[in-house]
Amino acid sequence: MNAVVRIMLKDLRRRGRAPLAPLMMLAFPFLFAGLIALAFGSGGETRAPRFRVALVDEDGGLVGRLVRGAFGQEQAAQFLDVIETDLPHAMRSIERNRIGGAIVIPPGFSQAVLDRQPAHLRVVRNPASAIGSTAVEETAEFMALLLEGATNVLAEPLQRLREIGGRGTPETPAGPSGGARSGWAPDPEVSEIAVMVNRSLRGVGRFAFPPAIYLKKPEAPQPAEAKTDGSGFRLIFAHVLPGMAAFALFFLAAGLMGDVFRERSLGTLGRQLTAPVRATEVVFGKILATMAVGLIVAAGMALVGGVLLHARADLGAFALLCLAFLLAVTGFVTLLYSFARNEQQGGTLTAIVMMGMAFLGGSFIPLESMPRFVGGIAPLTLNYWAILGFRTLLVSGGGLAEVAAPLGVLFATGVICVLTGGTLLQRRLMRGA
């Protein structure tokens, strides 16, 4: 039996006796992708998180009612759960960390707005909920901005409203405060005010009403199953899984190749080098063992992933892509280890490069969400090509022809790195075995 095969079989047997690390690497992508999908994709669709906020209207006037109404609008309701209540109840809810904060419309708020006098909205933050309280504060600021804009645009009708408020009703004369709450006007006057409001709004309509922000979901290809049942969980899972799987296989390859240094400390590497075999055979035996374990783990990932996603990928293309990626990462790790003097150095160097590649290649954060320059760097990473290939096969339902580019890049990189890394590593080992 060839020494390379013998070394590979020996390492496979050793891995079989201590299977925890490969099993963890097999489980990792599913756990991580599952957690992300659960966090952002549960409930059948992708949704932004909602915040609970208390609205305390101590004013009870016209503007206060407008503010309360605004919170009931469809868009606000998407992000906020508004509880209309009184201040003591709101404070108790904050203490119990049930709400992100409270917006208080103080007495006289409506009159101050109508009089174009400084008006204040009070915000009570929940210090235990950093995000929730910030959302409440931002909402209040936005509301103040809207009111300021409205008072400017509707200056004329507001003036008429003030005049009406000052008159009082036929039954109730105007109070000392002259509040709008007690105001009364005959129908023709109301109609006139309505026409004025309409005219003002039409004048600013084309500036004020186009939405300032469009919320756009990326038009990513969806797996057939996800499209039919609208499962956000499955959509996110399918998108995150390839990146995580690529990272896990990279990590696995790094750990397994590091065994060269462990064997050196153990003395077994030196003993192998005293046997009638070439140092190159010893290194290539280790490379082959790493790839074999990687392929077993990749096959496990394919099996579990296929069951979970009900994916029907081109198995031949998938196997080739796994092989190419494992060749590339094993060769790359071998090359990195050839610059290291010991396992610690090699491990540190590999971890830094591996994490960098994972981030830049889109293993953790989709490239669509990264700055544009990252997209330019990403093709320099192995993760990018693996993710591209895996997504094409698993998500878009592509075949061998569609993954030709990732396959080519990964195979070429793998062959170059394995040959260069293998040669350099055997030289380093011979120097210090």
- Which stretches of the chain bind other proteins, using CB under 8 A? 1, 3, 6, 10, 13-14, 17-18, 266-268, 270-278, 430, 433
Between 272 and 338, name the residue whose CB sits nearer to other proteins.
272
Which of 305, 414, 331, 286 minimizes the C-alpha distance to 15? 286
Residue with Cβ nearer other proteins (2 or 191): 2
Least distance CB 285 / other proteins (angstroms)? 10
Task: Read off the amino acid at residue 51.
Answer: F
CB of 363 to other proteins, least distance (A): 31
Task: Tell the burial category of 59 from Cβ atoms under 10 Å away from its Cβ (0-12, 13-18, 19+).
Answer: buried
**Amino acid at position 257, single letter:** M
| Least gap, CB of 336 to other proteins (angstroms) | 24
Work out how close the CB of 19 gets to other proteins at its nearest, in angstroms, rounded to a whole number: 11
The answer to whether the CB of 324 falls within 8 A of the CB of 411 is: yes
* Residue (of 83, 59, 34, 433) closest to 268 by Cα position: 433
> In terms of CB distance, is 13 or 199 closer to other proteins?
13
Q: Which is nearer to other proteins, 17 or 216 (CB)?
A: 17
Which residue number, 286 or 391, has a Cβ lying nearer to other proteins?
A: 286
Least CB distance from residue 272 to other proteins, whole Å?
Answer: 6
Closest distance to other proteins from the beta carbon of 429 (Å): 10
Q: Which is nearer to other proteins, 6 or 160 (CB)?
A: 6
Computed on alpha carbons and rounded to an integer, the radius of gyration of the chain in Å comes to 33
Looking at the Cβ atoms of 272 and 383, the one nearer to other proteins is: 272
Q: In the bound complex, what is the minimum distance in angstroms from residue 384's beta carbon to other proteins? A: 36
Return d(Cα 158, Cα 107) in angstroms, integer. Answer: 19
> By C-alpha distance, which of 263, 363, 382 is closest to 321?
382
- Pick 424 or 433: Cβ nearer other proteins: 433
Q: How far is the CB of 431 from other proteins (least distance, A)?
A: 9
12 vs 91 by CB, closer to other proteins: 12
Nearer to other proteins, 12 or 377 (CB): 12
Using left for φ > 0, alpha for ψ between -120 and 50, and beta otherwise, residue 2 falls in beta
The distance of closest approach from Cβ of residue 8 to other proteins in the complex, given in angstroms and rounded to an integer, is 11
The token pair that represents 223 in the structure block: 């797996």
**CB of 433 vs other proteins, minimal distance in Å:** 6
